């Protein structure tokens, strides 16, 4: 088979084939295997789609070595997310061992009513995420506790996960400490606080809509939790000191310590706490009566980190709740992230996105169509490249000239990207964000996606505002160089901690 000596641009049909293959194969995997598709079949589908993309790019003159390098580079960009996944696995296992998780559930059951539980979950996560700028940290700490409370009081796990994600992504979108907000502002060349002010206008409305929906989804009845509370009091010594690992994680996040470090130190704190307040539980979990106490304690905490904690209280609902975590529990998700990032690296190298998006930019005429096209391009990039950072930078770079030609202020570009890229990343099962949320909360992405109200509403409001002509700021007399300033604030996404 002959092939050109130098890489040639793909035609539209060639660019479309890998994307269609990816979507069809993943859909087929879900149809054949259901929820179990996330434990291997989906990953195989992504790898198969990658090989299709490699073949098409090779036919167009790209060397296999260059495509391999592009895939490897893309995977390396996700190492931050992979390390955070490992840290969260260790944190969940250690929190289950120490009693931190059961303490959050114990107090939460007494404070949160089924009537307003979903709304309260979204609001709590929104406030904390805004303060620390990290949706991943919020979901991996507070989110886990809220999922446990939901289980104990009979709330729907999919709706609860949607509420947690809605709140977490509101903060990640509008917090000055969020690296996705910093990246969107930097990509467009605008002041960070100007970007935050503009994106908050639609994001605040999206949060309000989310809270209203979650209030409506609440159950207007009281749920008797007395038996669950009694079981917990009988089996555990509940006290506020068990919140220490949570306090450590939040405090370190506020101090802008990288998320992997914050979460891992929170896990270590929980293990030390377990040794102090419940050594008999740690020794029993170690399962080695022949070991000296010190080594048994070490083995028990080591196991919680590696393979998670297994509860043996004999009470089904508590054992189900606390048997979880461990770094090994994240391996399927990490496999998916690696496969998806490799696919993204290959299609970006081959020029798939450029070929698919450029004709759209050339065809749009109205302001509303321009914004809608960009939102669609951002979501498509989240699907194709499995990375929200690429979904911020690549479409932003491609649409930048079109926005400037129409004399829109750069902040219109940044807020469009910010309101679409960050929230929708959680809706894609093979995106690093969607995979993380599913693994951490224990709910499949396809299950929680209909209830991730903020992620669904935010891009719609961005488009509605454009079609209505709301805040479509024009700035024909100010050059980009005079209006731009460097964004401030550290990151919060997967590479530095989303």
Most confident region among 115-124, 316-325, 389-398 by mean pLDDT: 115-124
Q: Does position 215 have pLDDT exceeding 50, yes or no?
A: yes
Q: Does position 128 have pLDDT exceeding 50, yes or no?
A: yes
Q: Does position 119 have pLDDT exceeding 90, yes or no?
A: yes
| pLDDT tens, residue by residue, 381-414 | 999 888 888 899 888 888 888 898 888 999 999 9
Closest-CA residue to 435 (of 53, 168, 81): 81
Residue 476 confidence class, pLDDT cut points 50, 70, 90: low
Q: Does position 480 have pLDDT exceeding 70, yes or no?
A: no
Q: Which two tokens stand for residue 59?
A: 């036919």
| pLDDT tens, residue by residue, 323-380 | 989 999 999 989 988 998 899 899 989 988 888 888 888 888 889 999 999 999 999 9
Q: Is residue 467 part of a domain?
A: no
Residue 2 confidence class, pLDDT cut points 50, 70, 90: low
How high is the pLDDT of residue 489? 36
Mean pLDDT within 302-329: 91
Q: Which domain holds residue 249?
A: 80-329
DSSP 3-state of 10? coil
Q: Is residue 349 part of a domain?
A: no
How high is the pLDDT of residue 479? 45
CB neighbourhood size of 4 (10 A): 10
Which residues touch 289 (CB under 8 Å, ≥6 apart)?
A: none
Mean pLDDT within 135-153: 91
Residue 485 confidence class, pLDDT cut points 50, 70, 90: very low
Q: Which of 14-28, 281-295, 337-351, 478-492 has the lowest mean pLDDT?
A: 478-492
Backbone phi, then psi, for 18, in 5-degree steps? -60, -35
Cα–Cα distance between 206 and 12 in angstroms, integer?
Answer: 35
Q: Is residue 378 within 8 Å of residue 424, measured between CB atoms? A: yes
Residue 212 confidence class, pLDDT cut points 50, 70, 90: very high
| pLDDT tens, residue by residue, 164-201 | 999 999 999 999 888 889 889 988 888 888 999 999 99
CB neighbourhood size of 340 (10 A): 33
Residue 489 falls in which region: left (phi positive, over 0), alpha (psi -120 to 50) or beta: left
How high is the pLDDT of residue 477? 57
Closest-CA residue to 193 (of 489, 494, 493): 489
In the block, tokens 């809270």 appear at 211
If you average pLDDT over every residue of the chain, what do you get?
A: 88
Residue 131 confidence class, pLDDT cut points 50, 70, 90: confident
Mean pLDDT within 276-291: 91
How high is the pLDDT of residue 221? 64
How big is the chain by its Cα radius of gyration, in Å?
23
Q: Is residue 214 part of a domain?
A: yes
Quick check: pTM over 0.85?
A: no
Q: Is residue 218 part of a domain?
A: yes
| pLDDT tens, residue by residue, 224-270 | 677 888 888 888 999 999 999 999 998 998 888 888 899 999 999 99
How high is the pLDDT of residue 254? 86
How high is the pLDDT of residue 277? 94
Q: Is residue 135 within 8 Å of residue 498, measured between CB atoms? A: yes
Distances (CA, A) of 74 to 200, 347, 470: 31, 11, 37
User: What is the share, in percent, of the chain residues with pLDDT greater than 70?
Assistant: 94
Q: Is residue 7 part of a domain?
A: no
Residue 152 confidence class, pLDDT cut points 50, 70, 90: confident
Q: Is 359 exposed, middle or buried (0-12, 13-18, 19+ CB in 10 A)?
A: exposed
User: What is the share, in percent, of the chain residues with pLDDT greater than 90?
Assistant: 59
Q: Is residue 489 within 8 Å of residue 133, measured between CB atoms? A: yes
Q: Is residue 36 part of a domain?
A: no
**What's the 3-state SS for 57-73?**
HHHCCCCHHHHHHHHHH
How high is the pLDDT of residue 143? 94
| pLDDT tens, residue by residue, 19-58 | 999 989 988 998 898 878 888 999 999 999 999 999 999 9
Q: Is residue 466 part of a domain?
A: no
Q: Is residue 340 part of a domain?
A: no
The total number of structural domains that make up the chain: 1
Residue 236 falls in which region: left (phi positive, over 0), alpha (psi -120 to 50) or beta: beta
Q: Which residue has the higher pLDDT, 300 or 115?
A: 300
Q: Does position 14 have pLDDT exceeding 90, yes or no?
A: yes
Q: Does position 13 have pLDDT exceeding 50, yes or no?
A: yes
How high is the pLDDT of residue 482? 38
Q: Does position 488 have pLDDT exceeding 80, yes or no?
A: no
How high is the pLDDT of residue 31? 87
How high is the pLDDT of residue 497? 41
Closest-CA residue to 263 (of 432, 164, 132): 132
Q: Is residue 474 within 8 Å of residue 409, measured between CB atoms? A: yes
Cα–Cα distance between 174 and 200 in angstroms, integer?
Answer: 6
């Amino acid at each position: 088979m002959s092939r050109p000596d130098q890489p040639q641009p793909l035609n539209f049909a060639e660019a479309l084939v890998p994307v269609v293959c990816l979507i069809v194969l993943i859909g087929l995997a879900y149809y054949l295997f259901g929820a179990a598709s996330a434990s291997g079949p989906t990953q195989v589908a992504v790898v198969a789609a990658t090989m299709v993309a490699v073949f098409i790019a090779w036919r167009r003159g790209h060397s296999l070595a260059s495509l391999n390098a592009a895939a490897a580079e893309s995977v390396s960009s996700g190492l931050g997310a992979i390390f955070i996944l490992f840290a969260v696995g260790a944190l969940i296992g250690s929190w289950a061992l120490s009693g931190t998780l059961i303490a959050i559930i114990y107090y939460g059951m007494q404070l949160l009513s089924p009537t307003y539980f979903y709304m309260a979950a979204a609001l709590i996560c929104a406030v904390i995420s805004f303060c620390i700028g990290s949706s991943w940290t919020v979901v991996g700490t507070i989110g886990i506790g809220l999922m446990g409370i939901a289980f104990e009081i009979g709330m729907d796990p999919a709706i609860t996960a949607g509420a947690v994600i809605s709140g977490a992504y509101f903060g990640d979108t509008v917090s000055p400490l969020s690296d996705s907000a910093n990246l969107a502002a930097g990509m467009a060349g605008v002041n960070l606080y100007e970007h935050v002010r503009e994106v908050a206008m639609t994001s605040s409305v999206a949060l309000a809509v989310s809270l209203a929906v979650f209030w409506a989804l609440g159950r207007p009845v009281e749920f008797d939790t007395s038996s669950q509370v009694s079981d917990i009091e009988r089996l555990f010594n509940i006290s506020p000191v068990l919140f220490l690992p949570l306090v450590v994680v939040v405090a370190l996040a506020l101090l802008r310590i990288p998320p992997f470090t914050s979460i891992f130190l929170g896990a270590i704190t929980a293990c030390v706490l377990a040794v102090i307040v419940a050594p008999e539980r740690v020794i029993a979990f170690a399962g080695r009566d022949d070991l000296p106490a010190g080594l048994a304690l070490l083995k028990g905490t080591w196991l919680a980190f590696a393979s998670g904690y297994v509860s043996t209280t004999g009470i089904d609902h508590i054992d189900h709740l606390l048997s979880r975590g461990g770094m090994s529990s994240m391996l399927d998700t990490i496999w998916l992230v690696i496969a998806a990032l490799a696919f993204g690296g290959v299609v970006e190298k081959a020029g798939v996105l450029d070929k698919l998006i450029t004709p759209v930019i050339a065809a749009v005429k109205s302001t509303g169509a321009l914004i809608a096209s960009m939102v669609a391009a951002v979501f498509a990039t989240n699907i194709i490249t499995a990375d929200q950072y690429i979904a911020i930078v690549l479409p932003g770079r491609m649409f930048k000239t079109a926005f400037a030609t129409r004399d829109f202020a750069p902040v219109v570009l940044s807020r469009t990207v910010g309101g679409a890229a960050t929230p929708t990343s959680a809706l894609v099962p093979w995106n690093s964000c969607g995979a993380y949320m599913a693994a951490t909360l224990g709910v499949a992405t396809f299950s929680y996606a209909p209830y991730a109200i903020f992620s669904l509403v935010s891009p719609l409001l961005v488009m509605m505002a454009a079609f209505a002509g709301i805040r479509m700021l024009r700035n024909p007399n100010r050059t980009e160089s005079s209006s731009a300033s460097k964004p401030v604030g550290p990151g919060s996404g997967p590479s530095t901690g989303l």
